Each structure stands twice: as structure tokens, then as C-alpha cells.
Amino acid sequence: MNITYPVRKKQQLNTLLLITALLSGFIISLYTQSEFLLQVNDIWQILTAYDSSDIKQQVILSLRLPRSLTACLIGFNLGAAGLLMQGLTRNPLASPTLFAVSSGAACVTALNSLTFAMVSGLPSEAAAFIGALTGGLLVFLLGGGLNTQNNSLRLILAGIAVNGLLTSLTRAALIIADDTAYSLLHWLSGSLSDIDWLRWTQLWPLSLAALLLAVSTCRGLNLNALGEQTAFSLGINVTWLRIRVCLAVLLLTSISVTIAGPIVFVGLIAPHLARALCGRSHFILLPVSGLSGAALVCWADLLSRSIVPPAETPVGIITALIGTPFFIYLVVQGKS
């Protein structure tokens, strides 16, 4: 017997369905809506009869594949981060957005685009990452830092305050930076349109490290569900758990925001999907929540290309369109 929870048949079936949804989305996103009229068969050809001079195969390999992979991994990161946040705060409405990671990244990127700002001249990835970490750390410190007593609510309030501050700073920067405002706004809505292999190589190593860190917190989070005091009584170092969870969330969301801009609501929805599918053990919930997030972003990216082709709707807008009614549903359900 495992200390946590037996994997039931139904959970396995649910996970299988989820993986199917993800894989089909992934494959469709490799060929759909292309000016080169790609087909499923072209993907098959890459696997069976690779030809480096075939333009269709090259389009898939150098443009489509990195984008789809990145979409999935970012979704996975956000889903996992959302689960960690909800597990730590025991609040089903918590999400990585709370950590002001997105607004921090947006703010520093926006300031960076102003020629007179102090941080100007940084590469935009560096600016976004620094901003993400700064925003997150600010919330962590204001939200009680290492002190674990009764401060889930304090963390949430700190998140709201810091988010508000950073967002208004960003707005101010946008108004001043008239000429670059459009590209900034595009990034601010969350977009996967400029992804290439370089982005992927920036993304995966840090993601992997952060996900391993996340796995190491699962056992603690299972006990944290009983409250900090009980978890402490059961031999969990609650402070250390908190540090690791926050660090993992910070890393997972910072990298994702840096690559694709803020993609909202995925971190909120994915954990709920996972819990509905697979029970309560964080060891199972973490990968399932990640897969849910991956499927969400993958399909949202597909939709973003399909609504008004060939133009792309920023993927963040799609996830927001899906997420807002879901959020309202959660709040209403919580009241009844």
C-alpha cells in the first residue's frame, strides 16, 4: 500500500483520455492552418521517409514542432505551478498569477522598452525574467516570507496589492512608449507566435529543474492539506516546504512568462481538472495537472490560429475567454 491513494481504474482511464486529448491537439497543431497546406501525412513522412529538401517537412520541423512543444511545456509548467499554489494555500482560487510573476515580467519589459529607464538595454528575455522573479519575490516577502503561521490569506492579499502596483506601472510605461506599444501589448496578451528552437532550448532545462523541485514537494503538500500545524506535528518542516514550493512556482511561471507572455487562467483551471479526474494525492495530481495545462494551452494555441486565419489571436486571450466563465462557475459553486 502507498501512503497516499490507490490508483483506481477510473483514474487511469481519465488520464488516458487526457493524454489522447493532448496528443491529438499536439498533432493537429503541427499541420493545421498553414500556407503550405500541410497534412497529417507530412508528419508521417517525417517519421518514415525523412527528406531534408522537402519544404513541407522543414516547415513542420523548424517552425511548427518547436511551437507546439513549447506550448505544451508552458502549459505543463503553468498547470503544475497552479497545483502547487493551491496546495500550499489550500485555496482553490489561488493561481500562479497571484505571485505577480506575470505583472512583474510585463512591468520590467515595458520599462525596458523606454529608452530613459534604468534597466533599458537588456535583452527582452532577461528583462522579463528579472521582472518575473522580482514580482514573485516581492509577493513572497510581503506575504509573510518564511513565517508560516496563518498567512495563506496574507499571501493572497500581498499578491493582489503587488499585482495592482505593477500593472499600473506597466500602463504608465505603455502610454509613454508610444512607438513600441503595439508589440508590447501583443506580448502582454500572451503569444506563442514567435517561437523557434532557440526559445525551446531556453525553456526546457530550467523547466525540468523546477518540475523536479515540484515533485519533491508532493509528499509535504499531501500533509499540508491537513493544515500547517498538523503537517508540522507529522514531522514536516513547514518552512522549508514553503520555500521549495514558492521557488518552484516562481521558476515555472517566470520561465513561461518570459517565453510566451502571461497566459492567464491555465494555472487556475488545470488543478481543478486534475482533481476532478484523479483524486487527491499530489504525486498523481502534479503530472495530471501538468498534462491538463499542456492540453489547454495546446488547444488554445490551435484556436488562436483558427479564429481569423491567417491572423493570430493572442493565445492568452483564448485562455482568458475559456477561463473567465470557469472562474465565475468556481465562485458561484463555492457559495452554494
Partner 1 sequence: MLHIENLSVNYTGKTVLKDLNLTIPKGKITALIGPNGCGKSTLLKAISGGLKSATGQVTLAGRDLSRLNHKERARCLSILPQSPITPEGISVQQLVSFGRNPYLSQWGRLSAEDDQKVQQVIHQTGLSELAQRPVDTLSGGQRQRAWIAMILAQDTEYILLDEPTTYLDLTHQIELMEMIRQMNKQGKTLVVVLHDLNQACRYCDHLIVMRQGQISAQDSPDKIFNSRLLKEVFELNAMIINDPVANKPMCIPL
Check residue 96 and report its DSSP letter: G
Query: Amino acid letter at 183?
Result: S
Supply the angle between the helices 101-113 and 152-176 in degrees, to the nearest 10: 20
The Cα–Cα gap between 127 and 117 comes to 12
Backbone angles phi, psi at 236, to 5 degrees: -95, 135
Window 24-53: contact mask with partner 1 (x via CB under 8 A): ------------------------------
- The residue from 41, 48, 179, 235 that contacts partner 1 (CB under 8 A) is 235
- The residue from 279, 290, 314, 323 that contacts partner 1 (CB under 8 A) is 279
DSSP 247-276: HHHHHHHHHHHHHH----SHHHHHHHHHHH
What grid cell was written down for 336? Answer: 452554494
Place of cell 481569423: 308
Count of all residues that appear for the chain in the document: 336
- CB-nearer residue toward partner 1: 198 or 234: 234
Burial 13-35 (b: 16+ CB within 10 A, else e): ebbeebeebbeebbebbbbeebe
- CB-nearer residue toward partner 1: 101 or 223: 223
Minimum CB separation from partner 1 for residue 86, in Å?
Answer: 12
Is 225 a binding residue for partner 1 by CB under 8 A? The answer is yes
- CB-nearer residue toward partner 1: 232 or 327: 232
Is 147 a binding residue for partner 1 by CB under 8 A? The answer is yes
Is 307 a binding residue for partner 1 by CB under 8 A? The answer is no
- The residue from 93, 142, 219, 330 that contacts partner 1 (CB under 8 A) is 219
Minimum CB separation from partner 1 for residue 237, in Å?
Answer: 5
- The residue from 90, 145, 204, 206 that contacts partner 1 (CB under 8 A) is 90
Binding stretches for partner 1 (CB under 8 A): 1-5, 90, 147, 149, 219, 222-223, 225-227, 229-230, 232-237, 275, 279-280
